[in-house]
Amino acid sequence: MRRVVLAGGLALPVLGQGAWNIGDDPARAADETAALRRGLELGLNLIDTAEMYGGGRSEIRIGEALRGVPRESCLLVSKVLPQNAVRPALFESCDNSLRRLQTDYLDIYLLHWRGADPLEETVDGMEALVKAGKIRRWGVSNFDTPDMEALWRVPGGDRCAVNQVLYHLGSRGIEYDLLPWLRARGVAAMAYCPLAQAGRLRGIHGDLLTGRTVREVAEKYGVGVMPLLLAFVLRQTHVTAIPKASRPAHVEENARALTLAVSDEDWAAIDRDFWPPTAKMHLDIE
């Protein structure tokens, strides 16, 4: 699988697994565990969660699902709420996430969104967590270009490895300025909701799942719409995607995006329905 290599050598697969809402329903535990493990078998070993998801239930479910799996075979990402993003709350939140995930370190720890506390204090805390061996790298989420510029002005802010943002075919605003900014500085973009929550997020151009061109292109390549939507995100360089899949069949369908080679002509046809941005747009957040 193609990978995004971060400064320092940490390599992320371009396709991973999201875990929003996972762990909320005990009746779905078996399916969710099977989906996570099937993803690992397919090389989707980047697993994203957050302390906010279900008040920690997502992290608990992932920890249970990965019990017995060699730790080095997984790349675990979690996120801290902004109100907990300075010491000592930052260390407490990280320790709680580690306990719920049943691990002694996170591969990446993200600030879930920018809060009221100074970025200097969050960066200082994140760097302390790295030195303590509790996290390997740190990053941010839902940061627009001005937020990233502010972060870069903070001592140590340029050690941010990842910015996790909403990105899908119906929400392409980051292509105008944020993606180029991140690429130029070696920061990976991690796309959440790359399937627009199974089409529920309509975007500015309408419904992703019922558009004629999208359906026709998917049919031409013998896939469903979901792998095509993922392939759209993955054609960008230095981008990883973390779609949620709560059943093994969904994981297998998502993985088809990795081998989907869509022609420039067909992408151009999709662009005519879901056009790229021509000006700065407000950062979408879900």
pLDDT tens-digit map of 171-197: 999 999 999 999 999 999 999 999 987
- For the question of whether the overall pTM of this predicted structure is more than 0.85, the answer is yes
Locate all alpha helices (DSSP H) within the chain, ordered by sequence.
Answer: 29-41, 57-65, 89-101, 119-131, 145-152, 178-184, 212-220, 225-234, 248-255, 264-273
Predicted confidence (pLDDT) per residue in 68-122, tens digit: 999 999 999 999 999 999 999 999 999 999 999 999 999 999 999 999 999 999 9
Q: Which domain holds residue 237?
A: 3-273
Predicted confidence (pLDDT) per residue in 10-63, tens digit: 999 999 999 998 989 999 999 999 999 999 999 999 999 999 999 999 999 999
What pLDDT score does 212 carry?
A: 86
281 found inside a domain: no
Q: What CATH number does residue 19 fall under?
A: 3.20.20.100
What pLDDT score does 207 carry?
A: 66
Predicted confidence (pLDDT) per residue in 241-260, tens digit: 999 988 999 999 999 999 99
Using the predicted structure, report yes or no on whether residue 286 has a pLDDT greater than 80.
no
284 found inside a domain: no
278 found inside a domain: no
283 found inside a domain: no
User: What is the C-alpha to C-alpha distance for residues 229 and 273, in angstroms, rounded to an integer?
Assistant: 13
282 found inside a domain: no
What pLDDT score does 200 carry?
A: 53
Using the predicted structure, report yes or no on whether residue 210 has a pLDDT greater than 60.
yes
Give the single-character DSSP code of 116: S
What pLDDT score does 204 carry?
A: 47
Distance, CA of 110 to chain centre: 10
280 found inside a domain: no
Domain count, the chain: 1
Predicted confidence (pLDDT) per residue in 118-158, tens digit: 999 999 999 999 999 999 999 999 999 999 999 999 999 99
CB 214 within 8 A of CB 223: no
Question: At 206, is the pLDDT very low, low, confident or very high (cuts 50, 70, 90)?
Answer: low
User: CA–CA distance from 101 to each of 138, 139, 188, 197, 205 (Å)?
Assistant: 17, 19, 24, 24, 38
241 found inside a domain: yes
Q: ω into residue 88 within 30 of 0, thus cis?
A: yes
